[in-house]
Amino acid sequence: MTAVELAAAVRSGERSALDIANEALAAIEAREPELNAYNVVLADQARAAAAAVDQKVAAGETVGPLAGVPVALKDNMCTNGVATTCSSKILEGWIPPYDATVVTRMVDAGAVVVGKTNLDEFAMGSSTENSAFGATRNPHDITKVPGGSSGGSAATVGAGAVPLSLGSDTGGSIRQPASLCGVVGVKPTYGAVSRYGLIAFASSLDQIGPFTSTVADAALALEVIGGHDPLDSTSIPQPMADLTGVLDRGVDGLRIGIITELSGDEAAGSVAGIAADVVAQVTKAAQVLETAGAKVSTTSIPSSVHGLPAYYLIAPAEASSNLARYDGVRYGHRADGANALAMNAASRTAGFGEEVKRRIMLGTYALSSGYYDAYYGQAQKVRTLMINEFNERYQDFDLLLSPTSPTTAFELDAKTADPMTMYVNDVCTIPSNLTGQPAMSVPFGVGDDGMPIGVQLLAPMLGEPTMMQAAAVLESAARAGEAK
Ligand code: GLN
């Protein structure tokens, strides 16, 4: 059942939240030995929370829109009294004294937290192989990666164990794993969902969003977690728009552009490496939207190809600053050293994994005085150029369309030897992080290998309602078999 259906059944007293929690916990347990999607399963806490929802229903009290819905949280969101690790050894033993705003909002809406999910360490990666606690596997084929960095959250929804999970997206970490696991994943407008209590990777890019099996569930989850939060200085003032109420509006008259540079058409100027089976699904999605009344055409956004290099300077630069706080004094892991500096170096050497160290070094270099203008400064200029070009394109288009990921899920270990091959996975998702604009991945058929493919819808700032309308059209076409 979907989150919408489960909450309705709990509210009406037709289903007990405790039964639902027990079913989810059993489904998680059944798959966990092969998936490794969770860093911790909170069985007792979940049962107690579910029983409390049932009691409220029995007493005739109001329960929220997610009453009794099991939800999994990426383990980079702070949970009061429950270890939060970022899948890193450096946070070993650290227990946050507060909940992230998204956690508070979920719980206030009646959701039942069932566990914290595995991720690439500090959300740096595209395969969930950079975890200190071992890789997560794809629920559709355990020899393959689930994508990343929110791989655990994507895998558990893709496995059907829970209807809803939360992830974070800095360069694609919700959308790419959603695509690879065959689920819906949304990166909201920057500032639309509070980052309070999300452990920072690259603060100007990070956003929290949902993984679900339906567009309607994603819309509901966003309504619950979105809206202004005074605890996040980058939170935008307005509440989240009505999303659940617009899903049946269709796309008649909407202008939708296929981004040439991400189209796979190399002769026309597309980046290389977008697989033919992925291109075929994007083409079918465009046809579905056109049949539903949208005006679809291709449009060139030249700067979109520069997103990847700009991101891999800006994100590491911000990370090098954000991760400076893990010094062996204030949080988690501490190694011995002859003096404070030696202790600090030894703690960081032992606590951080290889990819995190690579990012810290890259970012520190890009920010160093002799290189600042050549690297970080240049990347910021590219970012401004992209914002201008995308805004200009949105004068002519309501939405843009592209693949989410250049390929379907790849084999475990296929890309771990060379970081560059891993980074190019993010070519289609990074632009929306640099511009701050919303984007989402909608499951749309399968590739030649039978693995899920997602298509990406991109929208201008606060364009979530239009984006959801188009997603609903694609979803019903895929359900009707038109994505085959
Ligand atoms: N794969 C990208 C990276 O490694 C994006 C990660 C993310 O969105 N958190 O940085």
Q: Tell me the pLDDT tens digit for each residue of 182-228.
A: 999 999 999 999 999 999 999 999 999 999 999 999 999 999 999 99
208 ligand 1 Cβ < 6 A: no
Ligand 1: centre distance to CA 201 (Å)? 9
Q: What is the pLDDT of residue 199?
A: 98
What pTM did the predictor assign? 0.98
Rounded CA-CA distance 122/89 in Å is 11
Phi, psi of 402 (to 5 degrees): -160, 175
Q: What is the pLDDT of residue 333?
A: 82
DSSP letters spanning 296-351: EEEE--GGGGGHHHHHHHHHHHHHHHHGGG-SSSSSS-----SSHHHHHHHHHHHH
124 ligand 1 Cβ < 6 A: yes
Q: What is the pLDDT of residue 103?
A: 98
200 ligand 1 Cβ < 6 A: no
129 ligand 1 Cβ < 6 A: no
Ligand 1: centre distance to CA 346 (Å)? 26
171 ligand 1 Cβ < 6 A: yes
Q: What residue spans define the domains of the chain?
A: 3-233+240-246, 310-372
AA identity, residue 31: R
- Ligand 1 atom at minimum distance from 123 CA: 9
Q: Tell me the pLDDT tens digit for each residue of 399-429.
A: 999 999 999 999 999 999 999 999 999 999 9
Q: Tell me the pLDDT tens digit for each residue of 388-399.
A: 999 999 999 999
382 ligand 1 Cβ < 6 A: no
Q: What is the pLDDT of residue 292?
A: 98
Select from 173, 187, 441 the residue to mutate for testing ligand 1; criterion: most ligand atoms less than 8 Å from CB: 173
Rounded CA-CA distance 406/470 in Å is 21
Q: Tell me the residue length of the chain.
A: 484
Q: Which residues form the catalytic set?
A: 74, 149, 173
Ligand 1: centre distance to CA 150 (Å)? 9
Q: Tell me the pLDDT tens digit for each residue of 110-160.
A: 999 999 999 999 999 999 999 999 999 999 999 999 999 999 999 999 999
Over residues 326-349, the mean pLDDT reads 92
Ligand 1: centre distance to CA 101 (Å)? 22
Q: What is the pLDDT of residue 469?
A: 98
* CATH top-level class of 3-233+240-246: alpha beta
Over residues 368-395, the mean pLDDT reads 96
Residue nearest to atom 10 of ligand 1 (CA): 124
